[in-house]
Structure formats: C-alpha cells, structure tokens
Amino acid sequence: MRYDCCETLRVSRRGRGSLSCRRVELTPSKDNGSGDEQIVCFLPWLLDYRQCREARLLPPNVLAAYEMPHGIVSPRPSTSIEALQLVVGDFLELMQERSLDPARLTLLGLSIGNFAATYLANMLGARLWAIAPGDRGETLIWTSSIAAGLRQRAEASGYGFNDFGAALAEFNPINNLRNIRAGSTFVVGRFDKVVPYRSAMKVAAEASTHNPATRSIVLPLGHAGTLFAGVQLLRLGFWSRSS
C-alpha cells in the first residue's frame, strides 16, 4: 500500500554543527481527515525527515517537521539548553511566517522531540500528541538504555544528576503541562527501554491533573513500535476523537 505524505515546500537550517536544526516545510494533503487542524512534528534524536518519512513516522497532514539538533543530547547541560532554545526560536518564527493559530495547532512530539513540543504546546495553549514522552531529561540520562555512554562522559566532565536537573527544569515535559489544550494525548510503550514506561506515565498522569480532558494510550510495545503505532493512531484520526 502506498504511504502518502506531504510534498516538500521549503527546507531551512538554523545554527551550525551539532547546534543546528533543520526545518522541513510541507504542503499537506488536501484530503487528510484533519479538518482545519495544523500539525507540526518534532522528530526523534538522530533521525532526519527522510528516514522518518520512509519509516512512516510522519502523518500525511503535517505543515512542518523539525529535525532535532544533535547537541540536544549532550554531556554538557548548557549545550542541551542551547539546542532546545534553537528549536523553540525557529518554531516561533514559523508561527509568524505561516500565521499558525494555537487554537488549531497540534504539536506532535516523537521521543526526545517531546521536549520542544511539550514546552511549546504549554506556552501557546496548543494541543499536544506526545509519543514516548520522558518526564525529565536528567532522569532519562540516568535510566535510558541508550544513555550509559553519555552519563559516563557527563560525570567525567564533572556534571551530575542535580546539575542536569537544575539546567533542564524549564524545558522538562513534567513542568510544562498546565496550559496544554484539551484533547492532548500521551502514547506510552509498556516495554519501552529508551523512554521507560514509568517516566512516560508520569507525564501523562501529571497532564491529567491539570486538564482531565487529556488522555493516555498504553501500548504493549517497545520504543520503535510505540513511535510507529502512535503516529498511525494520529494518522487514522484518533486525535479528533479526543477533542
């Protein structure tokens, strides 16, 4: 079966080296089942737009997709913050350029892309579709199956758990849930080792305390399976059923 996605409209890059993000702007399909909803996607770490499109990690109705800066995962907390600020700044420019309306906006976060997506959804009062969201950056660095090497490098440079906690507090998803729009959805993998189940469920539970109109979906899958299935649920229109 052919997997239809959007046509590329424009590609731009902000920053340089490990502190650069690439924005791929798209022309959404005319018949995508999303009505007037505007969807912007924040991709996983180290996966570019082409790879995500081939892996079906993009719905056919996105206006733009952001590739995360490589430096967003760093043994230096300040580098992670710079990377996040880069993405946030570029997205706010996109909002002005494309006249995006927060009342019609859904931000799709995939894995580490949720740090930017959740922060922005909370800032703007937009709807969030968070797939494999971690609660705190410092917790992921100290518990994720892919972060052992990073943790060792951070400790060798003199940075500990508390250093990351203090630096990342502003951007941690668990601290950015008060103002997200009703209908926001959290997709969690029960057997996810990259973003552990408990970490993701803390985000979903905290969101529901601020807005009971949010919901969580738990899938019996690991990280990759959760990302894929979560996007397909969005693609099939489950986002509209959570309004």
With b meaning 16 or more CB within 10 Å and e meaning fewer, what string describes 157-173?
eebeeebbbebbeebbb
pLDDT at 107: 97
Q: Which fold has domain 7-236?
A: Rossmann fold (3.40.50)
Question: Which residues, listed in sequence order, are joined to residue 216 by a DSSP beta bridge?
Answer: 186
Q: Where are the beta strands (DSSP E) in the chain?
A: 7-16, 19-27, 38-42, 62-67, 105-110, 127-131, 185-189, 215-219
CB 172 within 8 A of CB 133: no
Task: Round to whole Å and give the CA distance between 45 and 113.
Answer: 7
Average pLDDT in the 80-104 region? Answer: 95
Q: Following DSSP, what letter does each residue of 79-110 receive, concatenated? A: HHHHHHHHHHHHHHHHHHHHT--GGGEEEEEE
Strands 62-67 and 127-131: unpaired
Quote the pTM value. 0.91
* Per-residue pLDDT band at 237 (split at 50, 70, 90): confident
Average pLDDT in the 211-223 region? Answer: 96
CB 110 within 8 A of CB 62: no
How many other β-carbons are positioned within 10 Å of the β-carbon of residue 50? 11
Average pLDDT in the 28-39 region? Answer: 61
In the block, tokens 């922060």 appear at 119
